[in-house]
Every structure is written in structure tokens, then in C-alpha cells.
Amino acid sequence: MNAHPLLRRLLPALTGALFIALWYLAHALLASERRFLLPPPHSVLFAFRDHGPVLWSAAMNTLQGALLGFGTAVIGSSLAALVLSLTPLVRASLYPYLMILQLTPIIVIAPILILWAGAGIVSVTIITFLICFFPLVVNTTQGLISTDRNLVDLFRMCRASRWQEIWLLRAPGALPYFFTGLRIAATLAPIGAIVGDFYAGNSAGGQGGLGFLTIIYSSQFKIAALFATAVSSCALGFLFAGGVVALSWLCLHRWHDSYSRSDV
């Protein structure tokens, strides 16, 4: 079905408007003594006005933790993927331990981390790293070992060195897989930082992030402010996901089939 392009642009806005209308309706339908549980949309806007500076500095702290954790996970997982791609033997001996890392819940790891690294940015970064690492390393490794057999033969016939094979053949070929992992990790990074902050955040010197703010607002029953915190977290998520989508487009659109257009 071919919707008119203008309609296609308008549709998301319409969905949003409908959602807000339903929100108001739900608010109005609640018994008056329970209405505080679901503040209307404009109260959330007022919460942004009233708590703006606090929310902003918390969001920046969370962004910092998310970026640090995400960045170190990208570097760490790429190096790990290179090692894992060497031989099936290496993969067989290391994969089970990667699984352990992934399967241990963060809420179990967090208290240990806080004991080791203390509350604050270091622990938040490590928790974000742990959450982002797995999808990245699994996808990138898969990409590095999925090289076309004939291309490998071509490189061997030309007496390519191990490094040439990795840099000119395997790594560029793994890019689409890497970006699949990166997209997953990008949506996880802000969540990781907020969860990390929830357990390991530190309010000292205004260093708390959105996770820490959640604890404060919920203890104070500031429900509109909690909604504002949720919206801020969501905005951070969009920022990450959007950045990765843009980067992926930059790196792949010229050659990869996922960006093929019928008019080229």
C-alpha cells in the first residue's frame, strides 16, 4: 500500500496526539483521590520546568556513564572478537565464560562492583560495559568468521599476510554484523547506565544520574517528576540509537545491500 508521503509524515504525529488524548481521558476517568497516580501530560511538562536543572545535570551524568561504558565495550568487544575469530578452538574455550558474564544479572553483580570500585562513575561505566559487551562481541565475531570462502582463497592465492586478510577482508566484511550489534548495544547503553546509577549512583557533589534521581523522586512521591525522568531516559536512548543509525548509514550505504535503492 502506498500512502501519500505527506500522510506518512503526519501519521506518527497523529498517533502521538491520540496517545496524549487517551492519557488525558484516563486521567479524567480516575477517581479524584487517585488522580495523583497518573499526572496529566501538562504536569509532566511543568515537572520539566520545575526540575529542569536537576534533570539536565542528571541526564548529563548518565550520558557520560553511558558513553564511557558503550565506548569501552565497543573497543573491548572488537579486540575480543578478533581473538575469538582466530580459531574454533579459541571460541570453544571462551564462549561458555562469555555466557556466564551475560547470564549473571546486574543486580547480583552491582553490590560486588560497589564494594570493589565504590559508588560512582566507575561502577556505572563497568555496569554499562557489561550490558553492552555481549551483543557486540557475538555479532562482530560472527561477522569476522562469515567471510566468503572464495574471497579467502583469493587472498591466500595472492599470498596475503594474516594482517592483510584481517584488515582488508575480514574486518570490512564484518561491518554489517558489527553494526547490528552496535544498534542493540546503543539501546542498551543508556538503560545500562541508568540501572547502574540506580545501584551504584552517587549523589555526592551532584554526581547522581537519572537512576539516582528515580530513587529520590519515588521516595518523595513526585510522580510527575518520575514521568519527566522517564522521558529524559527515553530521549537519551533515542540519541544513542539515532547516532548509531547515522553512523551505520555513513559506513554502509554506498555498498551494502540493506541500503540498496531501486533507482541505483
146 neighbors 89 (Cβ within 8 angstroms): no
User: Which residue carries 567471510 as its cell?
Assistant: 147
Nearer residue to another protein within complex by CB, 35 or 256: 256
Read off the DSSP letter of residue 5: H
111 neighbors 199 (Cβ within 8 angstroms): yes
As measured in angstroms, the least distance from the Cβ of 250 to another protein is 13
User: Which residue carries 492519557 as its cell?
Assistant: 23
As measured in angstroms, the least distance from the Cβ of 255 to another protein is 5
As measured in angstroms, the least distance from the Cβ of 78 to another protein is 17
Q: Give every CB contact of residue 72 below 8 A, 6+ residues apart in sequence.
A: 125, 129
Residue type, 27: H
Q: How far apart are CA 24 and CA 38, in angstroms?
A: 9
Nearer residue to another protein within complex by CB, 95 or 155: 155
Nearer residue to another protein within complex by CB, 160 or 241: 160
Site residues for another protein per CB under 8 A: 148, 150-151, 153-160, 164, 168-169, 172-173, 175, 254-257, 260, 264
As measured in angstroms, the least distance from the Cβ of 172 to another protein is 5
* Strand spans (E) along the chain: none
Q: How many CA within 13 A on the CB side of residue 150? A: 0
Nearer residue to another protein within complex by CB, 34 or 159: 159
Give me the DSSP letters along 27-52.
HHHS-GGGGGGS--HHHHHHHHHHHH
As measured in angstroms, the least distance from the Cβ of 151 to another protein is 6
Nearest to residue 62, comparing CAs of 246, 240, 247, 244? 240
Nearer residue to another protein within complex by CB, 98 or 169: 169
As measured in angstroms, the least distance from the Cβ of 1 to another protein is 27
Mark out the alpha helices in 146-222 (DSSP H runs).
149-157, 162-164, 171-200, 210-219
Nearer residue to another protein within complex by CB, 168 or 215: 168
As measured in angstroms, the least distance from the Cβ of 153 to another protein is 6
Nearer residue to another protein within complex by CB, 152 or 241: 152
